[in-house]
Amino acid sequence: MSEKAGKVTMEKLVSLCQRRGFVFPSSDIYGGLSGCWDYGPAGIELKRNVKEAWWRSIVQERDDVVGIDSSILMNPRVWEASGHVAGFSDPLVECKNCHLRWRADQLTENKCPACGGELTEPRQFNLMFKTFIGPVEEAAATVYLRPETAQGIFVNFMNIVNTSRKRLPFGVAQIGKSFRNEITTGNFIFRSREFEQMEMEFFVKPGTDGQWLDYWVQERFNWYVKLGIKKENLRRREHGQEELAHYARGCFDIEYLFPMGWSELEGIANRCDFDLKQHMTHSGKSLEYYDDETKEHYLPYIIEPSAGVDRSVLAILCDAYDEETVNDELRVVFHFHPDLAPVKVAVLPLSRKENLAALAKDVYGALRPCFATQYDDTQAIGRRYRRQDELGTPYCVTIDFASLEDNMATIRERDSMNQIRVPIPALKDTLLAKLAGEDLFILPEGGKIWKQEK
């Protein structure tokens, strides 16, 4: 009945994301703003689900990690200590002919990729956005929009040690916006100027850092697999010696096979004691940890898994996208993991007739408190199934005229398009079980197989 059609391209994805309310260009009616994106009604649910899945696995399900939400604007001395003021820059070149700007280290030839014009000599361009505190725009009032969330964790290290009673090894996690004035943005939400990060700083005793780095690389890789990303589209890549930041002892990227090729999804770095040492020197405050067991004072080493929310969303969209031909028609579907799907269940009355609508609304009302549920009564049922497929909704519940007689409803599974018919009072528990991974054809009492596609 169905066969595979084309594969995902960035063009198809951008267009579907706009059509189904996942992602829009920022300030669209004014022509957009380069490197900035807005998440629509479907996109925000997907993004929230990604962040919740991360928080659940990193904080909620562990005893050794706590959370924090630090401010975006910080004392500018933080960025001097961290090295961002002096060194957070990319080499910029400008075309002498068309004046487009490029990142010199991303060019394969020494000429403008747009017009072939001659380029200026590279100069270092700092990626931090500047703004001003208070009414006077002067150097003394300069502050920066944070380019990473990590520094908010380092500067709170002692606050957390003193208040959370955590002993090494332990971690501090944060999800939040970061800003970088990237010279070139692109590939949709892959590289933008305003984006979100999910970062965790794991503080360990020096000497145990190597094993913790390996541990976190494995943990983080498994997280993506657990969320349904195909293993063959993921890989670990160890940084070569020449690629490592001067303070890092080791670093791995988890890469995803995006439509434009293998690219970084997340970095996991062994940052040694660089950050705490820098902040201790610049602030004059001791950030040393007292080890009750060995009776020593020392600076912990830090293992940092640092992931991009938007890049995770992009990888999930790419991986879940599918096209197939069903009965000579193209079906586009997102096979999202149920935990990530923006809508879990759609309630579809076969017609808008009053008595049918009343029953469907009752069902909708009963399911809403349990799942993200959508009610859709517009257009033919086939069109509505296709719409839900494009949103990646795992299950559709159809209420038809027979439902008025037998008090049963049809559940249609997104991936197989198979259908079962179950008593309405059993809907909630049946859907809960299916969303948790139970086979569709395991039926509740009184249920029956309704349609078997494959």
3-class DSSP state for residue 57? helix
Asked if 191 is part of the footprint of ligand GAP (rule: CB under 6 A), the reply reads yes
Total of chain residues touching ligand GAP, rule CB under 6 A? 18
When binding is defined by CB under 6 A, the residue of 88, 195, 203, 395 that contacts ligand GAP is: 195
3-class DSSP state for residue 402? helix
Strand pairing class (345-349; 373-375):
parallel
Task: Tell me which stretch binds ligand GAP (CB under 6 A): 61-69, 130-138, 300-308, 343-351.
Answer: 300-308
Query: What residues have CB less than 8 Å from 89, skipping those under 6 apart?
Result: 124, 125, 126, 127
Task: Kindly tell me which of 259 and 267 has the beta carbon lying closer to ligand GAP.
Answer: 267
Task: Tell me which stretch binds ligand GAP (CB under 6 A): 192-200, 205-213, 227-235, 423-431.
Answer: 192-200
Asked if 150 is part of the footprint of ligand GAP (rule: CB under 6 A), the reply reads yes
Q: Write the DSSP assignment of 204-229 as a string of letters.
A: E-TTSHHHHHHHHHHHHHHHHHHTT-
Closest distance to ligand GAP from the beta carbon of 253 (Å):
7
What's the CA gap between 16 and 183, in Å, rounded?
Answer: 27
Asked if 266 is part of the footprint of ligand GAP (rule: CB under 6 A), the reply reads yes
Closest distance to ligand GAP from the beta carbon of 433 (Å):
35
Closest distance to ligand GAP from the beta carbon of 321 (Å):
20
When binding is defined by CB under 6 A, the residue of 47, 84, 220, 311 that contacts ligand GAP is: 311
When binding is defined by CB under 6 A, the residue of 17, 78, 104, 148 that contacts ligand GAP is: 148
One-letter amino acid for residue 83 of the chain: G
When binding is defined by CB under 6 A, the residue of 43, 171, 300, 308 that contacts ligand GAP is: 308
What's the CA gap between 392 and 385, in Å, rounded?
Answer: 10
Closest distance to ligand GAP from the beta carbon of 331 (Å):
31
Asked if 310 is part of the footprint of ligand GAP (rule: CB under 6 A), the reply reads yes
In a 13 Å sphere around the CA of 128, the CA atoms on its Cβ side amount to: 23
Which residue number is nearest to ligand GAP in terms of Cβ?
Answer: 308
Residues within window 65-104 making contact with ligand GAP, judged by CB under 6 A? none
Asked if 49 is part of the footprint of ligand GAP (rule: CB under 6 A), the reply reads no
Task: Kindly tell me which of 70 and 97 has the beta carbon lying closer to ligand GAP.
Answer: 70
Q: What is the DSSP letter of 58?
A: I
When binding is defined by CB under 6 A, the residue of 267, 305, 338, 394 that contacts ligand GAP is: 267
Residue 452, number of CB atoms within 10 A of its CB: 12
CA quadruple 21, 22, 28, 31: dihedral sign:
negative
Task: Kindly tell me which of 2 and 187 has the beta carbon lying closer to ligand GAP.
Answer: 187
Residues within window 156-185 making contact with ligand GAP, judged by CB under 6 A? 180, 182
Angstrom CA distances, 159 to 29, 154, 287, 345, 358, stand at 45, 10, 10, 43, 55
Fill in the per-residue mask, 196 to 225: x = in contact with ligand GAP (CB under 6 A), - = not in contact: -x-x--------------------------
In 3D space, the residue among 381, 397, 401, 379 whose CA is nearest the CA of residue 447 turns out to be: 397
Q: Which two tokens stand for residue 383?
A: 């069109």
Ranges of beta strands (E only) in 65-106 are 65-67, 89-94, 101-103
Asked if 20 is part of the footprint of ligand GAP (rule: CB under 6 A), the reply reads no
Task: Kindly tell me which of 186 and 446 has the beta carbon lying closer to ligand GAP.
Answer: 186
Asked if 275 is part of the footprint of ligand GAP (rule: CB under 6 A), the reply reads no
Closest distance to ligand GAP from the beta carbon of 179 (Å):
9
When binding is defined by CB under 6 A, the residue of 307, 340, 346, 359 that contacts ligand GAP is: 307
What's the CA gap between 330 and 450, in Å, rounded?
Answer: 23
Query: What residues have CB less than 8 Å from 153, skipping those under 6 apart?
Result: 68, 70, 172, 174, 199, 201
Closest distance to ligand GAP from the beta carbon of 304 (Å):
6
DSSP percent split of the chain into helix, strand, coil, nearest 5: 35, 30, 35
Q: Which residues are near ligand GAP by CB under 6 A?
A: 148, 150, 180, 182, 191-192, 195, 197, 199, 264-267, 306-308, 310-311
